[in-house]
Chains A and B, each alone.
Chain A
Amino acid sequence: MTARLPPVSGLGKALRRSLVAAGVDASCSPADVWVASRLPTPPGRKPLVSPRRADVVAWPETAEEVAAVVAVAVKAGVPITAAGGATGSTGGAVPARGGIVLDTRRLIRPVHVDARARIAELGAGLTAQRIDRILGEHGMTLGCDAVPQSTLGGWLATRTAGERSSRYGTLADRTLTLEAVDGSGEIIRTQEGSGLSQLLLGSEGTLVIFTSARLRVAQLPCARWARTVRFPTLAAGLKGLRTVVAEGLRPAIARLHDPAGWFALSRVPARIPAPLRRVLAGAGGEALRLSLLAPGLLNRVADALPLPALLTLAFEGDDEDGCAIEGAIALDLCREARGVDAGPVPPRLPAPRGAPAAREAALDVATTWDRAESVIREVRRAVHDLAFARASIAHAAPEGCAIEFTFLGGTDPETQRGEGRSSPGEVVAAALSAAADAGASLSHHSGIGAQRQLLLPRELGEGMRQLRALKSAFDPHRILNPGKLLL
């Protein structure tokens, strides 16, 4: 069944005329506006559209054209929502109050790589796929491994970390200078070491629109060492991983699955009694789907089983021997925390045994090492009867880590079909609140957007006043991405 798209608004037509007159390509066709107004939805789900969809979409190609879009918006008194690859999970790039969606994907210049200095200057609209290709041609990498369609501008706007941040640092660590346009139409070009770059990163389109960045890049690795380590408990695994990074080792991958995560993986540990192992081994997607009707029971089973925590470690660099030495040092440190070498990593870790029909939601938070275990415990407790929860430590730094939760179960809010009694949104909200109560930060790399903003005052406290002051400073007309970050 297809639905008719709403007609072009009068405001959309007027904005398009102004934008085209300013030299910026723009469209107010219902299809373009619909695509630019989609809410983040998991794959396989029916796409939803913002209730206050955009009026027009603009495709500027330079910083000057972005400034021209800002000028049009100021004159018309309409908001601008900057959007890139539309891969965000928190709704940060979805228009909340209509107006102009500024599609950044034509901001593809400059493209300059200085392999000797290990610096790349890239347009904010370049996608991860293109950046990987461009840098790869010079034997370089950013170490991000982001979603292929995501853009550099989106990474800057959310201050994303990158999949291999334990080795290569976060994007903030790699950012040298930025070019951006603020809400008054000024083009800001930060200088290295000024501190302004670091202040603007992560502002989610509410203070400036990024147009390009100079980034430090790393040599593409040609050697790799990977291993799994089994720990008897989550606490032991946390201690082992923390020691590895505190000692100065920089694993490219360091992912610690909690026992529930292990439970959700296909491989069934040998310590489980044989009859139960056969039941678990035979439990396919349908069994999981049925068990998710009572997620509390599934959580209790996972809690009761004597399951270990599993750490995947990988080191990469330019020589096999060096990687192997780093790996050997890491294994020694893990042994001190009761870790046992569990052999090489399979070519690809088994996918979770989630049934295709199972509703899945995800959440990332950040915290210090001393709080990590209690954050996981409190989140699991909060969603105990709502969804099956598993956690993994996905980014490790000497002072703390990111925890990624995956929740299986929940009811599709549209069809009212599915497992459990709560929608994925309700599950995430309960989990986020519990994580915040346990002292975790609301997001490690996904941003706040629209979905997590109600908890922002708990995160920032009196810092909300500083945030509002920054909004007044960089966006005096309050046109940049309103409805996000409580701004």
Chain B
Amino acid sequence: MSVRDDLLRSGAAVVEDGERGFRLTPPSIVSLGRAVAAVRAHGVPLRVRGHGDAPSTAPAHGVLLELGSLDRIAAVDCATGLARVEAGCSVSALESAARRAGCTLGPLLPSVRSGSVGAWLAGPTRGERGVHGSRRQTAALTVSAVLADGRIAEGRSAPAKSVGPDLDRLSLGGGGRLTVIAAAWIRLFPARGAASSAWTCRDPAAALAALEQVCARELAPARARILGGASGARLALTWEGGAVAALERDRAGRMLAALGCGSGGEPGAWVRDAPTGHPVEVDARWMSLREWSREGEWQLFGMHGGGAFATLSLPEARGAEECATLARAAGARVIAPRRMRDEGRTWANMGAGGAWGRLLDALGLPE
């Protein structure tokens, strides 16, 4: 039986696409399971795309799995702080639904906001974002993952389980290599007022060093913006989460004053504005963020003791390529735009190359 015949039997819409490839749109998770099984059985290349995600064409002689029809939001419950959503749903649609229920996903990188939930979880950020206490945590409480044979694996939704290895880690950040994420339980934050303040610092490096100290004290803000200029740097921070936000802002304010930062008043909407220029997004350690440039602009999310996700942009005339080159030179990993994305660390880099090969074999996946 041909690939096309098997794909048609999955119940998904099939159209020819790209260089002798197929675009496949499953209408349900069951159909997605059948489609993945057919693709894996024939050993053809597979790409996964959700709402608003790249890539847009099928690989040569392969299949583009278009999850745009799997965009249902089954539940949004602010009382439990959880939402059940299919992988093809856009992050912005989920955020809108969460806002209507009095919750939020929290501040996210622009590339994450414009993509699908599946791309967010399977992408380089692994669905991670900042949580109180200067920690980064994946937004997915559990994921529903399609295995190579089309079966769906999903663990119990519970926090901090001690029930063997965390199998969701085979899906999160995996780019669809080992499993295809079909749906997930997503953690939500209560949508409460924010507390913002601005400071002035000697230069961007000083602002970043001060922010690192704030994060080390487990007072990481939800978002930060730093603008370098000839006369110094401007630092604006926002904490979210009701009464706790103001408490953490005041504590951080005392720290920043002790570190030599001057009060800059109320930042207004500036801390939330879209970045200027041609930004790139990175996952970086604090040292890399300090060494990137002295005159650019930093917007930071998911801050923790070790580093942060950031959009970095240089003055308008300088392109994203230069921005990315400087970021790499400083040791940061570029994660967006997609065409510039750096490969993540492989298991082979960590002495687990043999285990990786055996895992692919055991899961019935091609090298």
Contact = CB atoms under 8 A, between A and B. Distances in A.
B160 A397 contact: yes
A322 B251 CA distance: 8
Nearest to B161: A441
Interface stretch (B230-238, B262-270, B313-321, B353-361): B353-361
Contact of A202 (B145, B162, B358): B162
A160 B192 CA distance: 32
Interface stretch (A93-101, A420-428, A469-477): A469-477
B242 A248 contact: yes
A157 B310 CA distance: 33
A92 B158 CA distance: 22
Contact of A474 (B155, B244, B355): B355
B82 A202 contact: no
Interface in B313-367: 344-345, 347, 349-352, 354-356, 358-359, 361-363
B355 A182 contact: yes
A366 B242 CA distance: 27
A196 B347 contact: yes
Interface in A198-225: 198-204, 206-207, 216, 218-219
A103 B190 CA distance: 46
A445 B159 CA distance: 10
Nearest to B215: A118
A406 interface: no
B126 A195 contact: yes
Contact of B159 (A192, A204, A401, A468): A401
B117 to A, nearest CB: 17
A173 B159 CA distance: 12
A375 to B, nearest CB: 10
A36 B209 CA distance: 49
A465 interface: yes
A159 B173 contact: no
Most chain B CB inside 10 Å of its own CB: which residue of A173, A219, A462: A462
A461 B168 CA distance: 13
- The SS class assigned to the A binding surface is mixed
Contacts of A460: 153, 155, 163-164, 167
B132 interface: yes
A184 B354 CA distance: 9
Interface string A160-197: 11000101111011001000001010111111111110
Given A193-B283, A196-B350, A118 B363 contact: no
A218 to B, nearest CB: 7
Interface stretch (B2-10, B49-57, B58-66, B73-81): B73-81
B77 A400 contact: no
Contact of B79 (A189, A370, A439): A370
B296 interface: no
A366 B161 contact: yes
Interface in B156-179: 156-167, 169-170, 172-173, 179
A209 B163 CA distance: 17
Interface in A327-351: 329, 332
B37 to A, nearest CB: 13
B258 to A, nearest CB: 13
A440 interface: yes
Most chain A CB inside 10 Å of its own CB: which residue of B82, B137, B161, B349: B161
Contacts of A397: 159-160
A466 B160 contact: no
Nearest to B213: A116
B345 to A, nearest CB: 5
B164 to A, nearest CB: 5
A158 B159 contact: no
A75 B227 CA distance: 61
Contacts of B132: 248, 250
A219 B251 contact: no
Nearest to A160: B162
Interface of A: 117-118, 158-161, 165, 167-170, 172-173, 176, 182, 184, 186-196, 198-204, 206-207, 216, 218-219, 246-250, 322, 325-326, 329, 332, 366-370, 395, 397-402, 439-448, 456, 459-463, 465-470, 472-474, 476, 485
28 contacts: A172-B160, A172-B166, A173-B137, A193-B283, A196-B169, A196-B350, A203-B164, A218-B218, A247-B190, A366-B158, A366-B160, A366-B162, A367-B158, A397-B160, A399-B80, A400-B157, A400-B158, A443-B163, A456-B163, A459-B155, A459-B163, A460-B163, A461-B153, A462-B154, A467-B165, A470-B362, A472-B358, A476-B358
In the A-B complex, the 7 residue pairs with the smallest Cβ-Cβ separation, listed nearest first, are A248-B241, A469-B362, A473-B359, A441-B158, A248-B244, A366-B158, A199-B169
Given A165-B160, A443-B163, A447-B163, 7 more contacts: A184-B355, A203-B164, A246-B189, A329-B243, A366-B161, A398-B189, A462-B153
